[in-house]
Structure 1
Amino acid sequence: MLVDYHVHALAHGEYEADQAWLSAFVDKACQMGIIEMGFSEHDEFIAGLDLDIFQKLKMERQSDISLRLGIEIDYIPGIESDLIHKLSQADYDYSIGSIHYIDGWAFDHPDHKQGFFNQDIDEIYIRYAQILLQMVTSRLFDIVGHIDLVKIWGHRPQRKKAVDYLLPVVQAIKRTGMVVEINSAGLRKPVGELYPAGDLLALLYSMNIPVTLGSDAHHPQQMGEGLEEARAAARRAGYRTVIGFEKHRPTSILL
Protein backbone atom coordinates (compact mmCIF):
# COMPACT_ATOMS: atom_id res chain seq x y z
CA MET A 1 0.00 0.00 0.00
CA LEU A 2 1.15 3.54 -0.71
CA VAL A 3 1.14 6.62 1.50
CA ASP A 4 2.35 10.13 0.71
CA TYR A 5 3.19 12.26 3.72
CA HIS A 6 5.04 15.08 1.95
CA VAL A 7 2.72 17.22 -0.19
CA HIS A 8 2.77 21.00 -0.72
CA ALA A 9 -0.46 22.26 -2.27
CA LEU A 10 0.70 25.84 -1.80
CA ALA A 11 4.12 25.02 -3.29
CA HIS A 12 6.20 28.10 -2.38
CA GLY A 13 3.21 30.40 -2.12
CA GLU A 14 2.37 30.60 -5.81
CA TYR A 15 -0.91 28.67 -5.61
CA GLU A 16 -4.18 29.29 -3.81
CA ALA A 17 -5.32 26.21 -1.93
CA ASP A 18 -9.06 26.37 -2.59
CA GLN A 19 -11.14 23.20 -2.51
CA ALA A 20 -10.78 22.53 -6.24
CA TRP A 21 -6.98 22.76 -6.01
CA LEU A 22 -6.73 20.49 -2.97
CA SER A 23 -9.15 18.07 -4.63
CA ALA A 24 -6.84 17.83 -7.63
CA PHE A 25 -4.12 16.43 -5.37
CA VAL A 26 -6.55 14.01 -3.74
CA ASP A 27 -7.92 12.85 -7.09
CA LYS A 28 -4.42 12.09 -8.35
CA ALA A 29 -3.57 10.28 -5.12
CA CYS A 30 -6.63 8.07 -5.43
CA GLN A 31 -5.79 7.30 -9.05
CA MET A 32 -2.36 6.11 -7.92
CA GLY A 33 -3.71 3.87 -5.18
CA ILE A 34 -2.50 6.04 -2.30
CA ILE A 35 -4.56 5.21 0.77
CA GLU A 36 -3.25 7.92 3.10
CA MET A 37 -1.78 11.34 2.36
CA GLY A 38 -0.82 14.43 4.26
CA PHE A 39 -0.70 18.06 3.24
CA SER A 40 2.48 19.36 4.86
CA GLU A 41 2.91 22.98 3.82
CA HIS A 42 6.16 24.85 4.40
CA ASP A 43 5.95 26.77 7.65
CA GLU A 44 6.42 30.16 5.95
CA PHE A 45 3.40 29.58 3.70
CA ILE A 46 1.06 27.47 5.81
CA ALA A 47 -1.12 30.45 6.77
CA GLY A 48 -2.43 30.24 3.21
CA LEU A 49 -4.02 26.85 3.90
CA ASP A 50 -7.67 27.27 4.94
CA LEU A 51 -8.18 24.63 7.61
CA ASP A 52 -11.96 24.74 7.19
CA ILE A 53 -11.55 23.79 3.52
CA PHE A 54 -9.15 21.02 4.49
CA GLN A 55 -11.52 19.61 7.11
CA LYS A 56 -14.45 19.74 4.69
CA LEU A 57 -12.45 17.88 2.06
CA LYS A 58 -11.27 15.36 4.64
CA MET A 59 -14.85 14.50 5.54
CA GLU A 60 -16.08 14.41 1.95
CA ARG A 61 -13.32 12.06 0.80
CA GLN A 62 -13.00 9.85 3.87
CA SER A 63 -14.37 6.82 2.02
CA ASP A 64 -11.68 7.26 -0.67
CA ILE A 65 -8.56 8.20 1.27
CA SER A 66 -7.37 9.18 4.74
CA LEU A 67 -6.23 12.80 4.78
CA ARG A 68 -3.79 14.12 7.35
CA LEU A 69 -2.62 17.62 8.26
CA GLY A 70 1.09 18.19 8.65
CA ILE A 71 3.67 20.94 8.50
CA GLU A 72 7.24 21.02 7.20
CA ILE A 73 9.51 23.30 9.17
CA ASP A 74 12.96 24.54 8.22
CA TYR A 75 15.09 23.82 11.26
CA ILE A 76 17.52 26.62 12.02
CA PRO A 77 19.63 26.34 15.18
CA GLY A 78 18.86 28.87 17.88
CA ILE A 79 15.22 29.59 17.04
CA GLU A 80 13.66 26.58 18.77
CA SER A 81 11.19 28.69 20.76
CA ASP A 82 9.86 30.15 17.51
CA LEU A 83 9.53 26.66 16.05
CA ILE A 84 7.61 25.47 19.11
CA HIS A 85 5.21 28.37 18.58
CA LYS A 86 4.71 27.43 14.93
CA LEU A 87 4.00 23.83 15.84
CA SER A 88 1.29 24.93 18.28
CA GLN A 89 -0.69 26.98 15.76
CA ALA A 90 -2.87 24.10 14.52
CA ASP A 91 -3.89 20.60 15.51
CA TYR A 92 -1.37 18.86 13.28
CA ASP A 93 -1.26 15.13 12.77
CA TYR A 94 2.49 15.22 12.22
CA SER A 95 5.47 17.49 11.67
CA ILE A 96 8.43 17.20 9.33
CA GLY A 97 11.75 18.73 10.27
CA SER A 98 14.06 19.55 7.37
CA ILE A 99 17.34 21.29 6.65
CA HIS A 100 17.29 23.70 3.70
CA TYR A 101 19.86 26.18 5.03
CA ILE A 102 23.46 25.76 6.13
CA ASP A 103 24.34 28.86 8.14
CA GLY A 104 22.08 31.03 6.01
CA TRP A 105 23.02 29.42 2.69
CA ALA A 106 20.00 28.01 0.83
CA PHE A 107 22.06 25.17 -0.58
CA ASP A 108 19.18 23.40 -2.36
CA HIS A 109 17.98 26.49 -4.24
CA PRO A 110 19.05 26.64 -7.90
CA ASP A 111 20.13 30.26 -7.51
CA HIS A 112 22.63 29.31 -4.81
CA LYS A 113 24.03 25.96 -5.95
CA GLN A 114 27.31 27.64 -6.97
CA GLY A 115 28.18 27.59 -3.29
CA PHE A 116 29.22 23.98 -3.71
CA PHE A 117 32.05 25.06 -6.01
CA ASN A 118 33.82 27.42 -3.61
CA GLN A 119 33.71 25.26 -0.48
CA ASP A 120 35.16 21.92 0.55
CA ILE A 121 32.43 19.32 -0.09
CA ASP A 122 33.37 17.24 2.93
CA GLU A 123 33.13 20.32 5.15
CA ILE A 124 29.67 21.01 3.72
CA TYR A 125 28.56 17.48 4.63
CA ILE A 126 30.08 17.80 8.08
CA ARG A 127 28.24 21.05 8.80
CA TYR A 128 25.00 19.71 7.32
CA ALA A 129 25.23 16.66 9.58
CA GLN A 130 25.91 18.87 12.62
CA ILE A 131 22.77 20.92 12.01
CA LEU A 132 20.73 17.81 11.27
CA LEU A 133 21.92 16.29 14.54
CA GLN A 134 20.78 19.41 16.41
CA MET A 135 17.39 19.12 14.73
CA VAL A 136 16.97 15.49 15.71
CA THR A 137 18.06 16.01 19.31
CA SER A 138 15.64 18.94 19.66
CA ARG A 139 12.85 16.31 19.65
CA LEU A 140 10.49 18.82 18.05
CA PHE A 141 9.45 16.76 15.03
CA ASP A 142 7.89 13.43 14.11
CA ILE A 143 9.63 12.91 10.77
CA VAL A 144 13.09 13.64 9.40
CA GLY A 145 12.56 15.14 5.94
CA HIS A 146 14.82 14.22 2.99
CA ILE A 147 17.61 13.21 5.34
CA ASP A 148 20.44 13.58 2.81
CA LEU A 149 19.15 16.55 0.82
CA VAL A 150 22.70 17.93 0.77
CA LYS A 151 23.44 15.58 -2.17
CA ILE A 152 20.76 17.29 -4.33
CA TRP A 153 23.17 18.59 -7.01
CA GLY A 154 25.18 15.37 -7.12
CA HIS A 155 28.16 16.49 -5.03
CA ARG A 156 29.69 13.70 -2.94
CA PRO A 157 32.25 13.84 -0.13
CA GLN A 158 35.71 12.47 -0.86
CA ARG A 159 37.37 11.77 2.49
CA LYS A 160 34.51 9.70 3.87
CA LYS A 161 31.24 8.30 2.60
CA ALA A 162 28.14 10.39 3.24
CA VAL A 163 26.72 7.61 5.39
CA ASP A 164 29.75 7.92 7.70
CA TYR A 165 29.10 11.61 8.25
CA LEU A 166 25.43 10.90 8.90
CA LEU A 167 25.96 7.96 11.27
CA PRO A 168 25.73 10.09 14.46
CA VAL A 169 22.47 11.52 13.12
CA VAL A 170 21.05 8.06 12.51
CA GLN A 171 22.08 6.98 16.00
CA ALA A 172 20.27 10.02 17.43
CA ILE A 173 17.18 9.22 15.35
CA LYS A 174 17.19 5.77 16.91
CA ARG A 175 17.39 7.26 20.41
CA THR A 176 14.63 9.81 19.83
CA GLY A 177 12.22 7.46 18.07
CA MET A 178 11.77 9.63 15.00
CA VAL A 179 10.60 8.37 11.62
CA VAL A 180 12.63 8.95 8.45
CA GLU A 181 10.87 9.62 5.18
CA ILE A 182 11.92 8.06 1.90
CA ASN A 183 11.49 11.12 -0.28
CA SER A 184 11.18 10.55 -4.02
CA ALA A 185 11.86 14.18 -5.04
CA GLY A 186 15.53 13.33 -5.50
CA LEU A 187 14.56 11.30 -8.56
CA ARG A 188 13.51 14.61 -10.16
CA LYS A 189 16.76 16.38 -9.23
CA PRO A 190 20.30 16.20 -10.68
CA VAL A 191 21.32 13.61 -8.07
CA GLY A 192 18.74 11.26 -9.59
CA GLU A 193 18.09 9.11 -6.54
CA LEU A 194 15.88 8.84 -3.49
CA TYR A 195 16.55 10.60 -0.20
CA PRO A 196 17.86 8.31 1.30
CA ALA A 197 19.12 5.53 -0.97
CA GLY A 198 21.66 2.73 -0.96
CA ASP A 199 23.84 2.29 2.10
CA LEU A 200 22.07 4.98 4.14
CA LEU A 201 18.68 3.33 3.67
CA ALA A 202 20.27 -0.03 4.50
CA LEU A 203 21.71 1.48 7.69
CA LEU A 204 18.29 2.77 8.74
CA TYR A 205 16.80 -0.68 8.29
CA SER A 206 19.66 -2.37 10.14
CA MET A 207 18.96 -0.09 13.11
CA ASN A 208 15.22 -0.79 12.98
CA ILE A 209 14.36 2.85 12.29
CA PRO A 210 10.85 3.21 10.85
CA VAL A 211 10.21 4.99 7.58
CA THR A 212 7.38 6.68 5.73
CA LEU A 213 7.03 7.78 2.10
CA GLY A 214 6.75 11.23 0.53
CA SER A 215 6.74 12.54 -3.03
CA ASP A 216 7.38 16.19 -2.08
CA ALA A 217 4.77 17.14 -4.67
CA HIS A 218 4.36 20.86 -5.34
CA HIS A 219 1.72 20.37 -8.04
CA PRO A 220 -1.02 17.77 -8.67
CA GLN A 221 1.00 16.41 -11.59
CA GLN A 222 3.80 15.51 -9.16
CA MET A 223 1.46 13.83 -6.69
CA GLY A 224 2.82 10.42 -5.79
CA GLU A 225 5.60 10.65 -8.38
CA GLY A 226 8.37 8.19 -7.61
CA LEU A 227 6.54 6.48 -4.76
CA GLU A 228 6.57 3.09 -6.47
CA GLU A 229 10.36 3.39 -6.67
CA ALA A 230 10.45 4.43 -3.02
CA ARG A 231 8.33 1.47 -2.00
CA ALA A 232 10.51 -0.91 -4.01
CA ALA A 233 13.66 0.52 -2.40
CA ALA A 234 12.14 0.15 1.06
CA ARG A 235 11.25 -3.47 0.38
CA ARG A 236 14.72 -4.21 -1.01
CA ALA A 237 16.19 -2.81 2.19
CA GLY A 238 13.96 -5.15 4.20
CA TYR A 239 11.01 -2.97 5.20
CA ARG A 240 7.52 -4.43 5.09
CA THR A 241 5.66 -1.56 6.73
CA VAL A 242 5.70 2.23 6.66
CA ILE A 243 4.43 4.69 9.23
CA GLY A 244 1.36 6.90 9.14
CA PHE A 245 0.34 9.48 11.73
CA GLU A 246 -2.83 10.73 13.36
CA LYS A 247 -2.52 13.37 16.08
CA HIS A 248 1.19 12.51 16.30
CA ARG A 249 0.43 8.86 17.03
CA PRO A 250 2.28 6.53 14.64
CA THR A 251 0.57 3.58 13.00
CA SER A 252 2.07 0.83 10.84
CA ILE A 253 0.83 0.36 7.29
CA LEU A 254 1.75 -2.61 5.12
CA LEU A 255 3.85 -1.78 2.09
Structure 2
Amino acid sequence: MKFDLHTHHVRCGHADGNIEDYIVAGLDAGLQVIGISDHSPYFYHEKDQPSPGIAMARSDFANYIEEVLRLKEKYAGKIEVLLGMESDFFPQHIESYKKAYEGVPFDYLIGSVHQVGDVSIFNRNRWKGLDEKQHIIVKRSYYDLIKQSARSGMFDILGHIDAMKGYYPSFSDIPATAEIDETLKTIAECGVSIEINTSGSTKYVGGWYPSDAILERALHFGVNVTFGSDAHIPSRVGDEWELVLQRLKEIGFKQWVYYRKRQPIIVPIT
Protein backbone atom coordinates (compact mmCIF):
# COMPACT_ATOMS: atom_id res chain seq x y z
CA MET A 1 0.00 0.00 0.00
CA LYS A 2 1.76 3.13 -1.25
CA PHE A 3 0.48 6.50 -0.03
CA ASP A 4 1.49 10.16 0.23
CA LEU A 5 -0.48 12.45 2.55
CA HIS A 6 1.33 15.77 2.10
CA THR A 7 0.88 17.64 -1.18
CA HIS A 8 0.32 21.28 -2.12
CA HIS A 9 -0.89 23.07 -5.22
CA VAL A 10 -1.18 26.49 -6.82
CA ARG A 11 -3.68 27.92 -4.31
CA CYS A 12 -1.05 28.37 -1.61
CA GLY A 13 0.94 30.71 -3.83
CA HIS A 14 4.28 28.88 -3.71
CA ALA A 15 3.52 25.55 -5.43
CA ASP A 16 3.10 24.65 -9.08
CA GLY A 17 0.19 22.79 -10.64
CA ASN A 18 -3.45 22.23 -9.79
CA ILE A 19 -4.87 19.51 -7.55
CA GLU A 20 -5.60 17.15 -10.43
CA ASP A 21 -1.97 17.38 -11.58
CA TYR A 22 -0.91 15.92 -8.23
CA ILE A 23 -3.48 13.14 -8.42
CA VAL A 24 -2.27 12.17 -11.90
CA ALA A 25 1.31 12.29 -10.63
CA GLY A 26 0.24 9.99 -7.80
CA LEU A 27 -1.12 7.49 -10.29
CA ASP A 28 2.12 7.70 -12.29
CA ALA A 29 4.10 7.09 -9.09
CA GLY A 30 2.11 3.94 -8.31
CA LEU A 31 0.24 5.33 -5.32
CA GLN A 32 -2.97 3.71 -4.14
CA VAL A 33 -3.74 6.68 -1.86
CA ILE A 34 -2.98 10.39 -2.24
CA GLY A 35 -3.81 13.10 0.27
CA ILE A 36 -4.40 16.70 -0.75
CA SER A 37 -3.23 18.97 2.06
CA ASP A 38 -2.68 22.54 1.00
CA HIS A 39 -1.77 25.29 3.48
CA SER A 40 -4.65 26.57 5.58
CA PRO A 41 -5.80 30.16 5.21
CA TYR A 42 -4.97 32.55 8.03
CA PHE A 43 -8.45 32.21 9.48
CA TYR A 44 -7.79 34.63 12.33
CA HIS A 45 -6.62 37.50 10.15
CA GLU A 46 -8.82 40.46 9.26
CA LYS A 47 -7.62 40.30 5.65
CA ASP A 48 -8.90 37.62 3.29
CA GLN A 49 -5.40 36.70 2.09
CA PRO A 50 -2.71 38.52 4.07
CA SER A 51 0.14 36.43 2.61
CA PRO A 52 -0.64 35.42 -1.01
CA GLY A 53 2.71 33.69 -1.40
CA ILE A 54 2.23 31.50 1.68
CA ALA A 55 -1.41 30.44 2.05
CA MET A 56 -4.71 30.44 0.21
CA ALA A 57 -7.37 33.09 0.68
CA ARG A 58 -10.01 32.45 3.33
CA SER A 59 -12.66 33.03 0.63
CA ASP A 60 -11.13 30.20 -1.44
CA PHE A 61 -11.33 27.60 1.33
CA ALA A 62 -14.81 26.36 0.33
CA ASN A 63 -13.66 26.07 -3.30
CA TYR A 64 -10.70 23.97 -2.18
CA ILE A 65 -12.97 21.58 -0.27
CA GLU A 66 -15.41 21.31 -3.19
CA GLU A 67 -12.65 20.61 -5.70
CA VAL A 68 -11.02 17.86 -3.64
CA LEU A 69 -14.37 16.18 -3.01
CA ARG A 70 -15.23 16.35 -6.71
CA LEU A 71 -11.89 14.80 -7.67
CA LYS A 72 -12.27 12.17 -4.94
CA GLU A 73 -15.41 11.03 -6.73
CA LYS A 74 -13.91 11.35 -10.21
CA TYR A 75 -10.91 9.12 -9.40
CA ALA A 76 -12.73 6.57 -7.25
CA GLY A 77 -11.61 3.10 -8.25
CA LYS A 78 -8.33 4.41 -9.70
CA ILE A 79 -6.73 6.06 -6.68
CA GLU A 80 -8.16 7.02 -3.30
CA VAL A 81 -8.12 10.80 -2.94
CA LEU A 82 -8.15 12.03 0.65
CA LEU A 83 -9.26 15.44 1.84
CA GLY A 84 -6.65 16.93 4.13
CA MET A 85 -5.10 20.25 5.03
CA GLU A 86 -1.81 21.39 6.48
CA SER A 87 -3.01 23.65 9.22
CA ASP A 88 -0.90 26.26 10.94
CA PHE A 89 -0.83 26.00 14.71
CA PHE A 90 -1.09 29.28 16.57
CA PRO A 91 -2.22 28.60 20.16
CA GLN A 92 -3.58 32.12 20.56
CA HIS A 93 -5.82 31.68 17.47
CA ILE A 94 -6.89 28.08 17.94
CA GLU A 95 -10.60 28.86 18.17
CA SER A 96 -10.59 30.57 14.76
CA TYR A 97 -9.23 27.41 13.18
CA LYS A 98 -11.53 25.06 15.07
CA LYS A 99 -14.55 27.07 13.96
CA ALA A 100 -13.43 27.08 10.33
CA TYR A 101 -12.99 23.29 10.33
CA GLU A 102 -16.36 22.47 11.90
CA GLY A 103 -18.44 20.22 9.65
CA VAL A 104 -15.77 19.80 6.97
CA PRO A 105 -15.46 16.12 5.98
CA PHE A 106 -11.69 15.94 6.37
CA ASP A 107 -9.94 12.61 6.20
CA TYR A 108 -7.10 14.09 8.23
CA LEU A 109 -5.50 17.33 9.38
CA ILE A 110 -1.77 17.94 9.55
CA GLY A 111 -0.76 20.37 12.29
CA SER A 112 2.46 22.22 11.55
CA VAL A 113 4.39 24.80 13.52
CA HIS A 114 5.71 27.30 10.97
CA GLN A 115 6.53 30.20 13.28
CA VAL A 116 8.36 30.54 16.59
CA GLY A 117 8.34 33.96 18.20
CA ASP A 118 6.50 35.36 15.17
CA VAL A 119 9.43 34.43 12.91
CA SER A 120 9.25 31.73 10.24
CA ILE A 121 11.11 28.55 11.11
CA PHE A 122 12.58 28.72 7.58
CA ASN A 123 13.91 32.27 7.98
CA ARG A 124 17.59 31.99 7.13
CA ASN A 125 18.47 35.04 9.24
CA ARG A 126 16.68 34.14 12.48
CA TRP A 127 19.81 32.59 14.02
CA LYS A 128 22.17 35.50 13.34
CA GLY A 129 23.50 37.14 16.48
CA LEU A 130 22.03 34.55 18.85
CA ASP A 131 24.30 33.04 21.48
CA GLU A 132 24.21 29.39 22.63
CA LYS A 133 21.68 30.07 25.37
CA GLN A 134 19.32 31.82 22.95
CA HIS A 135 19.64 28.94 20.49
CA ILE A 136 18.48 26.55 23.22
CA ILE A 137 15.56 28.82 24.16
CA VAL A 138 14.35 28.91 20.53
CA LYS A 139 14.59 25.14 20.14
CA ARG A 140 12.77 24.52 23.42
CA SER A 141 10.04 26.97 22.35
CA TYR A 142 9.65 25.13 19.05
CA TYR A 143 9.13 21.77 20.73
CA ASP A 144 6.83 23.28 23.31
CA LEU A 145 4.59 24.50 20.47
CA ILE A 146 4.66 21.06 18.85
CA LYS A 147 3.71 19.53 22.20
CA GLN A 148 0.82 22.00 22.51
CA SER A 149 -0.34 21.13 18.99
CA ALA A 150 -0.49 17.44 19.95
CA ARG A 151 -2.55 18.27 23.02
CA SER A 152 -4.94 20.52 21.10
CA GLY A 153 -6.97 17.56 19.82
CA MET A 154 -7.19 19.21 16.40
CA PHE A 155 -4.76 17.12 14.43
CA ASP A 156 -4.21 13.58 13.22
CA ILE A 157 -0.64 14.16 12.03
CA LEU A 158 2.09 16.55 13.10
CA GLY A 159 4.11 17.89 10.19
CA HIS A 160 7.90 18.00 9.80
CA ILE A 161 8.76 18.05 13.51
CA ASP A 162 12.40 19.12 13.11
CA ALA A 163 12.00 21.36 10.05
CA MET A 164 13.87 24.24 11.70
CA LYS A 165 16.99 22.44 10.50
CA GLY A 166 15.92 22.95 6.87
CA TYR A 167 18.01 26.06 6.25
CA TYR A 168 20.07 25.72 9.44
CA PRO A 169 21.49 22.20 9.70
CA SER A 170 23.21 23.05 13.00
CA PHE A 171 19.74 23.13 14.59
CA SER A 172 20.08 19.37 15.15
CA ASP A 173 23.13 19.94 17.35
CA ILE A 174 21.42 22.38 19.72
CA PRO A 175 20.91 20.51 23.04
CA ALA A 176 17.24 19.66 23.65
CA THR A 177 17.07 15.89 24.11
CA ALA A 178 14.78 16.09 27.14
CA GLU A 179 12.37 18.45 25.36
CA ILE A 180 12.22 16.22 22.28
CA ASP A 181 11.57 13.15 24.41
CA GLU A 182 8.80 14.91 26.32
CA THR A 183 7.27 16.01 23.02
CA LEU A 184 7.36 12.47 21.61
CA LYS A 185 5.84 11.05 24.79
CA THR A 186 3.03 13.61 24.57
CA ILE A 187 2.44 12.80 20.89
CA ALA A 188 2.17 9.09 21.74
CA GLU A 189 -0.18 9.75 24.66
CA CYS A 190 -2.42 11.90 22.45
CA GLY A 191 -2.61 9.25 19.72
CA VAL A 192 -1.26 11.57 17.05
CA SER A 193 1.20 10.46 14.38
CA ILE A 194 4.25 12.17 12.91
CA GLU A 195 5.17 12.25 9.25
CA ILE A 196 8.40 11.30 7.60
CA ASN A 197 8.62 14.28 5.28
CA THR A 198 11.08 13.99 2.40
CA SER A 199 11.08 17.67 1.43
CA GLY A 200 14.11 18.29 3.64
CA SER A 201 16.14 16.86 0.77
CA THR A 202 15.27 20.04 -1.18
CA LYS A 203 16.66 22.33 1.56
CA TYR A 204 20.20 23.04 2.81
CA VAL A 205 20.00 20.16 5.29
CA GLY A 206 19.64 17.65 2.48
CA GLY A 207 17.75 15.05 4.51
CA TRP A 208 14.33 14.05 5.73
CA TYR A 209 12.27 15.36 8.61
CA PRO A 210 12.64 14.06 11.26
CA SER A 211 16.15 12.74 11.72
CA ASP A 212 16.84 9.05 12.24
CA ALA A 213 17.68 9.82 15.87
CA ILE A 214 14.21 11.27 16.44
CA LEU A 215 12.58 8.37 14.59
CA GLU A 216 14.40 5.92 16.85
CA ARG A 217 13.09 7.79 19.90
CA ALA A 218 9.61 7.91 18.36
CA LEU A 219 9.63 4.12 18.01
CA HIS A 220 10.77 3.80 21.61
CA PHE A 221 7.83 5.90 22.83
CA GLY A 222 5.27 4.21 20.56
CA VAL A 223 4.59 7.07 18.16
CA ASN A 224 2.84 6.18 14.91
CA VAL A 225 4.39 7.40 11.66
CA THR A 226 3.08 8.26 8.23
CA PHE A 227 4.54 9.50 4.93
CA GLY A 228 4.42 12.87 3.21
CA SER A 229 6.51 14.14 0.33
CA ASP A 230 5.41 17.74 0.98
CA ALA A 231 5.39 18.05 -2.79
CA HIS A 232 5.15 21.58 -4.20
CA ILE A 233 5.64 20.31 -7.75
CA PRO A 234 3.81 17.25 -9.12
CA SER A 235 7.02 15.39 -9.96
CA ARG A 236 7.86 15.09 -6.23
CA VAL A 237 4.72 13.12 -5.33
CA GLY A 238 5.79 9.93 -3.56
CA ASP A 239 9.41 11.09 -3.62
CA GLU A 240 11.75 8.59 -1.87
CA TRP A 241 8.84 6.52 -0.52
CA GLU A 242 10.71 3.24 -1.02
CA LEU A 243 13.82 4.59 0.72
CA VAL A 244 11.74 5.73 3.69
CA LEU A 245 10.07 2.31 3.89
CA GLN A 246 13.47 0.63 3.95
CA ARG A 247 14.77 3.01 6.62
CA LEU A 248 11.75 2.37 8.83
CA LYS A 249 12.36 -1.37 8.53
CA GLU A 250 15.98 -0.86 9.57
CA ILE A 251 14.98 1.24 12.57
CA GLY A 252 12.47 -1.41 13.64
CA PHE A 253 9.03 -0.06 12.76
CA LYS A 254 6.46 -2.76 12.01
CA GLN A 255 3.69 -0.49 10.68
CA TRP A 256 2.78 2.97 9.53
CA VAL A 257 -0.57 4.65 8.94
CA TYR A 258 -2.68 6.80 6.69
CA TYR A 259 -6.08 8.26 7.50
CA ARG A 260 -9.63 8.00 6.25
CA LYS A 261 -12.48 9.94 7.88
CA ARG A 262 -10.14 10.93 10.72
CA GLN A 263 -9.40 7.29 11.56
CA PRO A 264 -5.95 5.69 11.21
CA ILE A 265 -5.59 2.88 8.69
CA ILE A 266 -2.70 0.63 9.67
CA VAL A 267 -0.35 -0.52 6.92
CA PRO A 268 2.06 -3.29 7.93
CA ILE A 269 5.73 -2.79 7.11
CA THR A 270 6.98 -6.07 5.73
Does the aligned pair in 2 maintain the 1:121–1:155 contact within 8 Å? no
Instruction: Please point out which of 198, 211, 222 is paired with 2:236.
Output: 222
TM-superposition CA deviations, 1:140-189 (whole Å, max 9, x none): 111111011121121235562x5443111101011100011111111111
1:172 and 1:220 map into 2 onto residues whose CA distance is 34
1:54 aligned residue: 68
1:121 and 1:16 map into 2 onto residues whose CA distance is 34
Does the aligned pair in 1 maintain the 2:36–2:68 contact within 8 Å? no
SS in 2 for 1:250: strand
Q: Does 1:12 align with 2:12?
A: yes
- The change in CA–CA distance for 1:53 and 1:227 in structure 2 (over 3 A counts) is same
Higher strand share: 1
2:10 maps to amino acid: L
Q: Does 1:40 align with 2:37?
A: yes
Q: How many residues align?
A: 248
1:222 maps to amino acid: R
Instruction: Please point out which of 81, 84, 108 is paired with 2:98.
Output: 84
Q: CA deviation at 1:14?
A: 5.3
SS in 1 for 2:142: helix
TM-superposition CA deviations, 1:32-72 (whole Å, max 9, x none): 12111110111112735443332232222222211100111
1:107 and 1:52 map into 2 onto residues whose CA distance is 31
1:95 aligned residue: 109
TM-superposition CA deviations, 1:208-242 (whole Å, max 9, x none): 21111000011212222232232222222222322
- Tell me how large the CA RMSD over aligned residues is: 2.1
Give structure 1 regions of 4+ aligned residues with deviation exceeding 4 angstroms.
14-17
- 1:179-198 equivalent positions in 2, closer than 5 A: 179-198=193-212
- The change in CA–CA distance for 1:52 and 1:16 in structure 2 (over 3 A counts) is farther
Q: CA deviation at 1:6?
A: 0.5
SS in 1 for 2:38: strand
Does the aligned pair in 2 maintain the 1:152–1:186 contact within 8 Å? yes
2:160 aligned residue: 146
2:172 and 2:4 map into 1 onto residues whose CA distance is 30
Normalising by the residue count of structure 1, what TM-score does the alignment of the two structures yield?
A: 0.89
2:148 and 2:74 map into 1 onto residues whose CA distance is 40
- 1:122-133 equivalent positions in 2, closer than 5 A: 122-133=136-147
2:255 aligned residue: 241
Instruction: Please point out which of 128, 134, 139 is paired with 1:117.
Output: 128
1:247 and 1:235 map into 2 onto residues whose CA distance is 27
Unmatched runs of 5 consecutive residues or more in structure 1: none
1:133 and 1:121 map into 2 onto residues whose CA distance is 19
SS in 2 for 1:68: strand
SS in 2 for 1:28: helix
Calculate percent identity across the aligned residue pairs.
Answer: 24
Q: CA deviation at 1:207?
A: 1.9
Q: CA deviation at 1:89?
A: 5.7
SS in 2 for 1:155: helix
- The change in CA–CA distance for 1:65 and 1:11 in structure 2 (over 3 A counts) is same
Q: CA deviation at 1:253?
A: 1.8
1:15 and 1:141 map into 2 onto residues whose CA distance is 23
- The change in CA–CA distance for 1:219 and 1:89 in structure 2 (over 3 A counts) is farther
1:163 and 1:11 map into 2 onto residues whose CA distance is 37
Unmatched runs of 5 consecutive residues or more in structure 2: 42-55
Q: CA deviation at 1:245?
A: 1.0
1:52 and 1:248 map into 2 onto residues whose CA distance is 18
- 1:155-234 equivalent positions in 2, closer than 5 A: 155-156=170-171, 158=173, 160=175, 162-234=176-248
Does the aligned pair in 1 maintain the 2:225–2:256 contact within 8 Å? yes
- The change in CA–CA distance for 1:196 and 1:163 in structure 2 (over 3 A counts) is farther
Normalising by the residue count of structure 2, what TM-score does the alignment of the two structures yield?
A: 0.84
